[in-house]
């Protein structure tokens, strides 16, 4: 029957410390839906098949950015051309950038589920915002990047227990190292030599890029908003090709935090629906929604994906 279906990721950052949470969420949900805590991709796909069969109204996801994109990818594969249910981001992970950018209130999965159930009982059409996705290889997400973007996350996960404070310390160490040219910043800012073909006819490079990244939302974490034009055109994403030096990039961080964009002569940018990046590398390490993945060739295509309705829960 229609209702709320919740996917709970026990391995998500904050969820790990609360093993009884799925049972507590199920009690709060009562007769209005079900909670599933899949322990594998196969189990996630089976849950998606069940949720589709019962025609759920709302898909709740209890986890962070990584859980969100893995869940949406799996459900897209099961639902195919059928639109996904309304999505409710219930947080619970280490990184909740997407939830923050959408304006989902802060809180734990319990409290957010309470809000969701209340809105659902008022009307099955809970208040939502439209958010477009990005497709990268087999994955569906909201933000993607090569070069420094992926390097930063790799070093962030190596720095200790992942948390906003760890992210801040990783960034601060990189900023300090940029002015002395130390090995830390050299590793973090290792870029990519590439050419980029855009669907609007533009062609970038070949040249050295500090980072190549795109997103359908303005914020990328820690309050920084490099994709300030992400909502400029419906059904498109903001793509950046940054070629600034590490010091120039650091000096532009306040502008990026204020969503003002980088200074002239430090980055290329465009609003696109599709972009193909070509390099001479045998494989590419990239970031998608806070996860680091490896693409099995030196050419990768990023394109706009389907839009999803995300519950605001305000």
CATH of the domain at 182: 2.60.200.40
Name the CA radius of gyration of the chain, rounded: 20
- The answer to whether residue 180 scores a pLDDT higher than 60 is no
pLDDT at 164: 64
Question: What number of residues does the chain have?
Answer: 314
Q: Using one digit for the tens of pLDDT, what is the confidence trace for 113-132?
A: 999 998 888 876 788 999 99
Q: Do 116 and 210 lie in a common domain?
A: no
pLDDT digits (tens, 9 = 90+) for 256-306: 999 999 999 999 999 999 999 999 999 999 999 988 899 999 999 999 999
pLDDT tens digit string along 213-267?
A: 999 999 887 788 999 999 999 999 999 999 998 889 888 989 999 999 999 999 9
The span from the CA of 149 to the CA of 291, in Å, is 11
Q: Are 242 and 210 in contact (CB under 8 A)?
A: yes
Would residue 30 count as lying in a domain? yes
- Closest to 160 in 3D by CA, of 257, 82, 247, 94: 94
Closest CA to 301 of 133, 190, 135, 127: 135
Is position 134 within any domain?
no
Per-residue model confidence (pLDDT) at position 62: 94
- For residue 314, being part of any structural domain is answered with no
d(CA 105, CA 189) in angstroms, rounded, equals: 33
Q: What angle do CA 177, 245, 214 make, to 5 degrees?
A: 105
Identify the domain containing residue 122 by its residue range.
4-126
Please report whether residue 286 resides in a domain: yes
What does the CA dihedral 304, 306, 311, 314 come to, rounded to 10 degrees? 30
The model carries a pTM of 0.89
Close Cβ partners of 45 (under 8 Å, ≥ 6 residues apart): 74, 77, 78
């Amino acid at each position: 029957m229609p209702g709320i279906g919740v996917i709970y990721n026990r391995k998500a950052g904050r969820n790990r410390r609360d093993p009884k949470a799925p049972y507590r969420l199920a009690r709060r949900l009562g007769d209005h839906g079900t909670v599933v805590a899949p322990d594998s991709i196969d189990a996630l796909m089976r849950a998606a098949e069940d949720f589709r069969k019962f025609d759920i109204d709302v898909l709740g996801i209890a986890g962070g950015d990584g859980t969100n994109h893995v869940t949406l990818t799996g459900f897209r594969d099961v639902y195919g051309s059928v639109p996904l249910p309304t999505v409710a981001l219930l947080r619970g992970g280490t990184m909740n950038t997407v939830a923050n950018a959408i304006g989902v209130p802060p809180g734990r999965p319990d409290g957010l589920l309470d809000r969701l159930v209340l809105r659902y009982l008022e009307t099955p059409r809970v208040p939502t915002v439209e958010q477009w996705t990005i497709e990268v290889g087999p994955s569906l997400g909201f933000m993607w990047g090569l070069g420094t973007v992926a390097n930063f996350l790799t070093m962030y996960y190596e720095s200790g227990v992942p948390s906003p404070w760890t992210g801040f310390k990783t960034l601060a160490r990189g900023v300090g190292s940029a002015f002395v040219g130390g090995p830390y910043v050299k590793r973090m800012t290792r870029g990519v030599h590439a050419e980029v073909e855009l669907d609007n006819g533009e062609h970038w490079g070949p040249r050295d890029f500090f980072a190549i990244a795109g997103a359908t939302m303005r914020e990328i974490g820690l309050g920084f908003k490099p994709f300030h034009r992400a909502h400029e055109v419906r059904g498109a994403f903001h793509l950046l090709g940054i070629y600034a030096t590490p010091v120039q990039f650091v000096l532009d961080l306040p502008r990026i935090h204020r969503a003002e964009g980088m200074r002239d002569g430090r980055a290329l940018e465009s609003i696109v629906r599709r972009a193909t990046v070509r390099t001479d590398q045998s494989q590419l390490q990239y970031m998608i929604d806070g996860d680091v993945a490896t693409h099995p060739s030196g050419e990768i295509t990023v394109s706009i994906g389907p839009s999803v309705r995300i519950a605001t829960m305000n």
